[in-house]
Structure 1
């Protein structure tokens, strides 16, 4: 679970800590400020695009017979194409829904629809979420919820513009932006992103280690 959502005290006291998945981190951060404003029975839908480093590796033998690891997906194999995969039932879909449900005031379950895709860049995730709302809101209303939820968080950036790869690639935090409403005000679309190798993995791991060992949470993490 991202530290920014579920608090630091449980991590400091924990004996076992697991890092949240990179896609699940961005999905949870995108939806957390809105968990009590979701339209009942409707699924928030997240489309995420990740650099091919997020696809993992496979073991192969090189020309000499020595085992080596290679990316499951390469930039060459993708060309200029974005490849959707695991179109339903992705593990991060269940992970995000499970943890978001713990944030809801009435305790009811939240389900999300998540569609991942791998893209021909190395690292960085950009996710777009479409959120049906139970009552009309304005973009200012939604932004205010995000500003309140993430006030004082050093690794979270809220911006006006749609999040692009350049906003997150090689950076240690998570960025959110866009905030566009439907004409009726009953649906908001938001973009968010992080580097899957940093805030989606190593940076988050270092935060957890620092907290568990009693150090400053951000020790060793450059803060922009």
Structure 2
């Protein structure tokens, strides 16, 4: 049994980690960290944990926490984990950071897009980008994991095999993605109030969303070159879910465009044995309702022969595979557990 500490346990992603670990046979949460609710019972903050979690919320003292647990999840805003981590802590405990502090390998790009100074750039190179299906071997021996963002997980997984196999021109890639409101976090913001969101859909962060360089960097590794893409997120009136629709020009080989069989073979090559990626049948497209509450990513595609382009679609639950579920999956890999422990969840519907 490993001991787990969570800093940011009273945010949506932190609470989802707590929920998932309630069903994990080899992990026990012993530290529910929260700046806003110190000494308040955790179940008073989230009533769904009544009679399940009796503990009180503690502070975010990572120095003390590192002496108490085997792994720390930091489900916090950008900048906090980087300001707290040090050699002494990393020598004692593994850290899975759900913020963007260690996702980007170029500190200048991080500071440009996030508008804050990075407090511990010396750990950026060491940190492993925790996209489990792609970086599993690196994750196994890591002590610092940069857990990917929700938009990025969906966008990267949807396009990765086709970029890696050279079936699409990645420089033509356009990503349109829709997110439920929980993706914006639990903090009070006028733009996320019920009356502001209900019965409406809107683009935001157009051409400047902070997940853009993360998608570019990771797909750039697959392409073997630096990429520049178009990424436009949209807020839609639902609690959970990400749906990414991606467009790219197909690349001819021997004078012919790839067929649907070629595309499916590429997805099967990389994901055929993956438990948490479901490649949908031909003509079936992802829907957020079929992944809600689960760690699955559903992927479908359609070749547009008229334009010589492909339309790729992916869906996941932004709080599970897009955040907490992937973090637990990373933990399982790091500690040598079965990856599915705590994550064997049937999507909930309706």
The normalised TM-score by structure 2 is 0.56
Quote the residue 2:238 is aligned against: 121
CA shift digits 1:158-214 (9 cap, x unpaired): 11311112122222110011x211224621001111000000011100011112223
Aligned residues: 209
Q: Does 1:55 align with 2:184?
A: yes
Q: Using the alignment, how far apart are the partners of 2:332 and 2:286 within structure 1?
A: 29
The DSSP-based 3-state class of the residue aligned with 1:44 is: strand
SS at match of 2:145: coil
1:140 pairs with 2:270? no
The Cα shift of 1:72 comes to 5.4
1:67-146 aligned within 5 A: 73-104=192-223, 107-135=224-252, 136-146=257-267
Is residue 167–residue 258 contact of structure 2 (8 Å, CA) maintained in 1?
Answer: no
Secondary structure, counterpart of 2:211 in structure 1: helix
| Cα pair 2:302 2:312 within 8 Å, conserved | yes
Q: Does structure 1 retain, via aligned residues, the 8 Å contact 2:159–2:312?
A: no
- Residue 12 of structure 1, aligned match among 140, 150, 156: 140
Tell me: CA distance 1:71–1:58, structure 2 relative to 1, closer, same or farther (3 Å): farther
Post-superposition shift, 1:223?
Answer: 5.2
Separation (CA, whole Å) in 2 of partners of 1:201 and 1:134 = 33
CA contact (8 A) 1:84 1:117 kept: yes
Select the residue among 288, 293, 298 that pairs with 1:165.
288
Deviation at 1:47, TM superposition (A): 0.6
1:190 matched to 2:312? The reply is yes
- Between the aligned partners of 2:190 and 2:334, the Cα distance in structure 1 is 32
Of 153, 168, 175, the residue aligned with 1:38 is 168
Offset, 1:71: 8.0
Change (3 A) 1:52 1:158: same
State the match for 1:220 in structure 2.
342
Q: Which runs of 5+ in 1 are unaligned?
A: 60-69
Once the two structures are superposed, what CA deviation does each residue of 1:18-61 show, in whole Å capped at 9, x if it has no partner?
Answer: 10000000111011111122327x320111001000012335xx
User: Structure 2: which 5+ runs fail to align?
Assistant: 1-128
Report the aligned-residue RMSD.
1.8
Residues 52, 74 of structure 1: 8 Å contact kept = no
